[in-house]
């Protein structure tokens, strides 16, 4: 069984490296660039109108937040459900990972990804509304599978290929919904609640499953009612907390933005032949985390946007622009600022390694500077200690001393043990990290009977040391704790609960619409029951491999979706120009609107528009 799991992991690793490799990231970004050019950079030129029709419309236009349609959700509910699925642990852990691996420059490339991703998301939503249909219950059904089959499939000789791509997308979506949209999110919740509040993972899984069942079984209307209340609350709470740190650390603003732009372009800052590599890695991590955060190009959120009661495809496209802007430019940037503006106390190697205990200790080592001086959490200028932990948990230290091949003597409770060290100059490109904050703890020695070994003085003997880089949620928690104290861990645990659970709700709908496309409307109830059951599974299992597989499946969704977006880019342009002439420039107010590819729906929507305008 162990061999089988390892084989699956290796195969998935190869596929994942390809899916999230440079060619795919270039395809995703290129699609955004192409759609930006073809629409005349709509996200900039029409920025005011986008704001008026989305964020500001929430407070001014009642029809944006309320709907009389019993089979659809409001525009705001569609946005909230889409944000519920996209604003997840990726906005916390994902940003930390991007910074740790890619450095501060990764944030710049995340912004670039979001800027062009706005138009990818815009295009997806426009196509989603234009090609959506109604199911047997009178509910809207839309998404990449529909504009692939009915849009791409309408082109000469493309019917079978389009149908194949649509089915492929739906299959990937269903599988991803159990991984990235369910088990991995629930696992994060269960771990956070157990470590901070002592709630057993099984109990947490059952509680979440019951709550999710009450919401998910109720369909999109109930999901929309929950997310329109949950998302604004959780987003506002997190933003306020981040803004508090922003204003406390306001003196760090020049440093933060300086480090982002410097690291994004400055090859000489690294030196040697790895400068280009470091910039490439910063760009790769920024693009990857940006796409993973806002899902632009994956074709996922278009399924819920297609359930909106909106008539104009371009209006829902604008909500797609706002979704990416809010998710990445606002939330992710604030997380990055919290991390880049925070610091820790530097300690000498002698002090850190002189008293290792079984408790995890957090420290930051910066050589050749005054001890107890504050150093940034993330900054390669200070990062003189590199920890490399192999698959067996053995730690190798890269440092300036001692000489290569020698050993550092680490003392714990009077006992000495050793960790092999290598010189900093011998590190390879992949060894370079940017986090200065580490965690170290001793592992208790056990005898042949499994009993704890003690020395003659009764001290516990440690036979190994675990040194690891602080990353992900732990790094964000540390940064928040610098200002909010120990309560920060509990606050972040609650934030993870809200962020991750909202993702579960959003993805439950994505999977439902995908399963409906594959097997029909009656299959949706069966899927929902299975989906809820997997919540308990996700709360109790070790899901390191599941995370990786889910990441792969999520990326695979982009392939058929982007083919559809690029092939139908001309349709997006026509619909956008049609709306611009009628509603923005008002050159031809009598021009027939492009609301649907299907005559019956086109007629129905036109009649509703005239009734609303009368």
CATH number of the domain where residue 207 is located: 1.10.4160
Check residue 164 and give its pLDDT: 93
Query: What DSSP string runs through 127-163?
Result: HHHHT-EE-TTS-EE-SHHHHHHHTGGGSTT-HHHHH
Position 563 pLDDT exceeds 80: yes
Instruction: State how far the alpha carbon of 485 is from the alpha carbons of 372, 418, 482, 579, 603, in Å.
Output: 19, 34, 6, 52, 60
Residues 25 and 48 in one domain: yes
Residues 203 and 307 in one domain: yes
Q: Name which residue leads in pLDDT, 180 or 530.
A: 530
Residues of the domain holding 404: 343-376+384-432+436-469
CA–CA separation, 318 and 500 (whole Å): 25
Domain assignment of residue 475, yes or no: no
Domain assignment of residue 184, yes or no: yes
Residues 208 and 152 in one domain: yes
Specify the residue for token string 């053995």.
394
Residues 228 and 308 in one domain: yes
Residues 128 and 220 in one domain: yes
Check residue 402 and give its pLDDT: 38
In contact, 108 and 260? CB cutoff 8 Å: yes
Confidence of residue 424 (pLDDT cuts 50, 70, 90): very low
| Local structure of 530: helix, strand or coil | helix
Residues 347 and 337 in one domain: no
Residues 359 and 259 in one domain: no
Residues 192 and 281 in one domain: yes
Position 46 pLDDT exceeds 70: yes
| Burial class of residue 607, CB neighbours in 10 A (0-12, 13-18, 19+) | exposed
Q: Name which residue leads in pLDDT, 546 or 193.
A: 193
Question: What pTM was computed for the model?
Answer: 0.79
What domain count does the chain have? 2
Domain assignment of residue 189, yes or no: yes
Q: Could you tell me how many helices (H) and strands (E) the chain has, helices first?
A: 27, 11
Residues 237 and 315 in one domain: yes
Domain assignment of residue 220, yes or no: yes
Rounded to 5 degrees, what angle do the CA atoms 414, 417, 421 make?
135
Confidence of residue 4 (pLDDT cuts 50, 70, 90): low
Residues 148 and 276 in one domain: yes
Domain assignment of residue 416, yes or no: yes
Residues 33 and 148 in one domain: yes
Check residue 230 and give its pLDDT: 74
């Amino acid at each position: 069984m162990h061999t089988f799991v390892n084989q699956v992991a290796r195969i998935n690793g190869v596929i994942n490296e390809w899916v999230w490799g440079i060619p795919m990231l270039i395809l995703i970004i290129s699609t955004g660039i192409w759609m930006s050019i073809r629409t005349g950079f709509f996200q900039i030129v029409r920025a005011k109108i986008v704001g008026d029709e989305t964020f500001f419309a929430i407070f001014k236009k009642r029809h944006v937040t309320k709907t009389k349609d019993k089979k659809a959700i409001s525009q705001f509910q569609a946005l909230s459900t889409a944000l519920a699925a996209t604003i997840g642990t990726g906005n916390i852990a994902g940003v930390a990972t991007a910074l740790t691996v890619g450095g501060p420059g990764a944030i710049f490339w995340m912004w670039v990804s979001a800027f062009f991703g706005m138009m990818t998301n815009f295009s997806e939503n426009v196509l989603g509304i234009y090609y959506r249909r109604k199911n047997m219950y009178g509910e809207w059904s839309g998404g990449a599978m529909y504009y692939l089959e009915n849009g791409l499939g309408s082109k000469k000789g493309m019917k079978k290929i389009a149908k194949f791509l649509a089915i492929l997308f739906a299959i990937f979506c269903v599988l991803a919904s159990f991984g990235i949209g369910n088990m991995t999110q629930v696992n994060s919740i269960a771990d956070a609640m157990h470590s901070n509040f002592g709630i057993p993972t099984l109990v947490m899984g059952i509680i979440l499953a019951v709550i999710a069942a009450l919401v998910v079984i109720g369909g999109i209307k109930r999901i929309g009612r929950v997310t329109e209340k949950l998302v604004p609350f959780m987003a506002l709470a997190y933003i306020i907390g981040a803004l508090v740190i922003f204003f406390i650390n306001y003196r760090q603003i020049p440093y933060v933005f300086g480090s982002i732009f410097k690291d994004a372009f400055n090859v000489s800052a690294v030196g040697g032949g790895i400068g280009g590599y470091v910039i490439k890695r910063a760009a790769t991590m920024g693009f990857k985390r940006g796409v993973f955060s806002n899902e632009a190009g994956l074709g996922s959120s278009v399924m819920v946007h297609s359930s909106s009661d909106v008539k104009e495809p371009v209006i829902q496209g604008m909500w797609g622009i706002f979704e990416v802007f809010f998710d990445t430019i606002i939330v992710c940037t604030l997380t990055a600022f919290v991390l880049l503006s925070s610091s820790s106390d530097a300690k000498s190697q002698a002090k850190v390694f002189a008293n290792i205990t079984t408790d995890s200790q957090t420290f930051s080592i910066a050589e050749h500077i005054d001890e107890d001086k504050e150093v940034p959490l993330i900054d390669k200028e200070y990062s003189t200690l590199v920890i490399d932990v192999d698959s067996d948990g053995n730690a190798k230290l890269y440092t300036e001393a001692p000489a290569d091949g020698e050993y550092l003597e680490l003392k714990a409770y009077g006992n000495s043990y050793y960790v092999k060290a290598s010189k900093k100059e011998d590190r390879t490109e992949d060894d370079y990290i940017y986090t200065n904050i580490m965690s170290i703890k001793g592992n208790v020695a056990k005898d042949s009977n499994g009993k704890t070994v003690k020395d003659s003085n009764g001290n516990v003997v440690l036979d190994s040391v675990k040194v690891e880089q602080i990353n992900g949620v732990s790094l964000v928690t540390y940064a928040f704790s610098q200002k909010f104290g120990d309560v920060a861990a509990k606050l972040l645990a609650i934030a993870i609960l809200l962020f991750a659970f909202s993702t579960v709700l959003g993805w439950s709908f994505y999977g439902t619409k995908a399963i409906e496309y594959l097997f029909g409307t009656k299959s949706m109830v069966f899927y929902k029951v299975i989906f809820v059951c997997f919540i308990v599974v996700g709360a109790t299992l070790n899901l390191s491999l599941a995370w990786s597989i889910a990441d792969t499946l999520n990326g695979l969704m982009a392939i058929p979706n982007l083919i559809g977006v690029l092939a139908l880019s001309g349709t997006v342009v026509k619909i956008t120009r049609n709306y611009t002439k009628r509603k923005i420039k008002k050159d031809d107010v009598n021009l027939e609107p492009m609301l649907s590819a299907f005559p019956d729906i086109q007629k129905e929507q036109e009649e509703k528009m005239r009734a609303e305008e009368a």
